Structure 1
Amino acid sequence: MIAKTSVGRSFKGCCQYNMEKVELGKGQVLLSQGVRDYDLKGMVADFTRQAMLNPELSRSVWHTAVSFDPQDEARLLQEPQLIEQVATDYLKGMGLDQSQYVVIQHYDTAHTHFHIIANRVANDGHTVSDSHNFSRSEKLLRAMEQQHRLTLMKEQGYRLGIEHLPQADRYRLEMRNDVRQSLELSTTSNELRANLAQRGIELIVNRDKAGQARGVSFERVSQDENGEALRVAFKGSKLHQNLGLGQIQQELGLNAHKRALELSQQRELAKAQELTISPQNEEKQLKRGRGLSM
């Protein structure tokens, strides 16, 4: 995801631009708090009234546009609620959830994006800081990409770097990258299939005449340069020497062992915390018992 943030002095221009999209059917209000999200004049008046709680703050308008990576479009169509969840998490992460805001999604571009208009004067009158907003925003976006399994920013840069390659090579490198990312998140073959499916990839086990597994292939339906559907398939070993059947099974086993170890450590930590708390509870119970005897 990419976010562009600015702070300004007037709510009118920012609200008008976004509400006009809604009125023209090119956008919709996703979320709002503390403002009349159905009326431009009312919205501006609500924002302006609260800004007067802190008249010394000259730049009270917070505006952020958040854009999703084109590779996430198919998933966003299936899970439209994810857009609202990302917006909610962003508001909270940037400290805007305790103030007035409106979130408006636009439909006038090929990629999904939404705009946040918020008041830097919070509901209790304190100022929402815009200090280091770029670095804070970037850190938050990277965390949300991981949390919601959205396309990572490093993958976006990776794709831009291979656009000049021939189509067949580009498909191969893109699929290799997607398979690796899916494998990192998986501990079983079923988990791997599910993670690959989220990226539009099908895992196929290649078997010999006796039914023995001899290798794996990966397939997805892409589009050629003319927009026509195109079936793309590669053997795992052709994607990378570490993506053959045996290597994949080995990495799944290592991932499962690592996850089991992490769960064991978490359980041990929970037990240690219980042992720490228990003597304190026993002491409290003894004190209560002495109090009753009196």
Structure 2
Amino acid sequence: MITKVSIGTSFMGALNYNLQKLYSKDESQKAELLATNFASLKQQSIKNELRLLQSLNPRLKRNTFHTSLNFGKDEVISNDKMLTIAEEYIKKMGFDNNAYFIFRHHDTGHPHCHILVLRNRFDGTVVSDSRNYQRSDQIARELEIKYNLEQVKSSQESKVKSPDKDEIEMALRTGKASQRIVLQELVGAALKKSNNIPSFIGHLEKSGVYVLFNQASTGRVSGISYCYGGFVAKGQALGNQFKWGQVSKTLHYEQAKDLQSIDEANHRTRAAYPKGENDYSAGKSTVDRMSNRTAKLPESNLEESKNSSRSNPFESSNHSFETRSTNKETDFGNDREPENLPSSDQGSTNSFFHAPSAIASLGDLLAAASTTGNVNDDSKRKKKKEDKNIGIGR
């Protein structure tokens, strides 16, 4: 089981992505609501509950935990089993007193569900987001064993990062592998042929791959990036075996011995990927700056690079870059309501496994607030009253 975790700022934006699937007329895209502890699916009702919970921690911006649990394509997972696993995952992640939704999606070739949880707890505290990805990975391994699921390697054990959804779709659409996958092949081949840092650099450059070492003024190397055809990625973006920590062990790196080779490689890379004069001029976005870069590649790669997307070349400092996936499933920027949503409650067609407990929890919160219904206003009035009494005492 693979988990994909995102932390965002718009609960409604993430929810609306799932609701669009829930109400889709396309059966291949349609989702199912497995569970929620919200009292209703009415947009205004959901917003009212969120507003009340968020008012307890108004400074918390990244309040939305959104993850997907992805099972093996050949695994047969009933709704009941998926729900049991999802609810146990939620509790193990620390969300045992939070508002949440669990949706099952059917838009891919493997069983999976989406979990959406508000980090604000019913008691006014907030669930920590510390080590989210590591904890999620560890919990997935535990659940695989407990529920006899197809076991996969943890992110720490995996040497090569698997292609993501966008890369798979691109390969199916165009018949070509992504540049990241190509880089994995080229760098992997160079590692197999090399027994030291200089030979590694040489094999990479012969295949058209430039390498940039993140090197301090003392000569110490702390990271590595690879670029090919105008595409740039950190070692971490390719997989654990391509990270500097593993590369340095595999090739028996010695700072004094390899210093000159690394310096010369960095100079060649920066010459091939020069920084534009107006690169950091005011008003230019990162995307604009990246599109202005022109890589000077070997002639054998010129034709291939003409249609490739331009990525950020390197400054003569300790900066490196990595690619980011634009997965719509984890886009929290859209807070608009989806069109054509039913105006009535959906309780008759969807299972609300924990609605009574949610209503009771909200009742406790409402009881703690005054009749104004605004927790923030109440706290402000209370503070003003205390300040006034202190002034009288003086």
Q: Scaled by the length of structure 1, what TM-score is found?
A: 0.49
Larger RCO (alpha carbons 8 Å, 6+ apart): 2
Larger relative helix fraction:
1
Larger relative strand fraction:
1
Q: Scaled by the length of structure 2, what TM-score is found?
A: 0.37
